[in-house]
Amino acid sequence: MNAYDFDKTIYKNDSSADFFLFCLKRHPKILLLTPKIILSFAKFYIFNKGTKTQFKEKVFSFVKYIDKERDIDDFWKKHKGRIKDFYIRQQQNDDVIISASPVFLLEPVCSALGIKHLIASEVDVETGKFLKENCHGKEKVKRFREVFGDATVDSFYSDSYSDTPMAEIAQQAFIVKNEKITNWEF
């Protein structure tokens, strides 16, 4: 089985950021959250206080202002073409997508692509609250093991060395930059 990060790995951008901007254009009321998001950003990224999960909860609170089903569906109608060609060419039936983006956002596109195994951040689509820790770094390995036990990851693909814990459990690992794939440097 092969495992793939989603954002900037098989999808050309960050799907959560793209979805936020997509929704902001449709629902300008989201701008009311700007002060809270900026404060949370400063708290986490500048002052190193709090967790990434807490920061992302503030960002995802924008879901309170959207038409969830319609906006997610329309978003993927417009953005599904941003799935990278290399992935489409090598996709297999047992692929696993493992991502920090929310399940509610990735589930529709994974289903449309025929991807059966999705592990991602569990976020309440009504409130933006995280139901579990953000699926990032070591948490990806923990979640993978919860679902697949000691199954072997043949190949792992990511755009970021923050995914080193997943790379370490794979037989081989690759860094993806745009459509260029290189061996992981440990």
Residue partners of 44: CB distance under 8 A and separation at least 6 = 50, 51, 52, 54, 55
Fold type of domain 2-12+83-183:
Rossmann fold (3.40.50)
Residue partners of 58: CB distance under 8 A and separation at least 6 = 33, 36, 37, 39, 40, 128
Model pLDDT for residues 39-56, shown as the tens digit of each residue: 999 999 999 999 999 999
Model pLDDT for residues 10-37, shown as the tens digit of each residue: 999 999 999 999 999 999 999 999 999 9
Going from N- to C-terminal start, the domains of the chain cover: 2-12+83-183, 19-71
Determine the Cα–Cα distance for residues 175 and 118; give it in Å rounded to an integer: 20
Stretches in the chain below the pLDDT threshold 50: none
DSSP state of 163: G
Sheet containing 153-158: order of strands: 117-121, 96-102, 2-4, 153-158, 170-177, 180-183
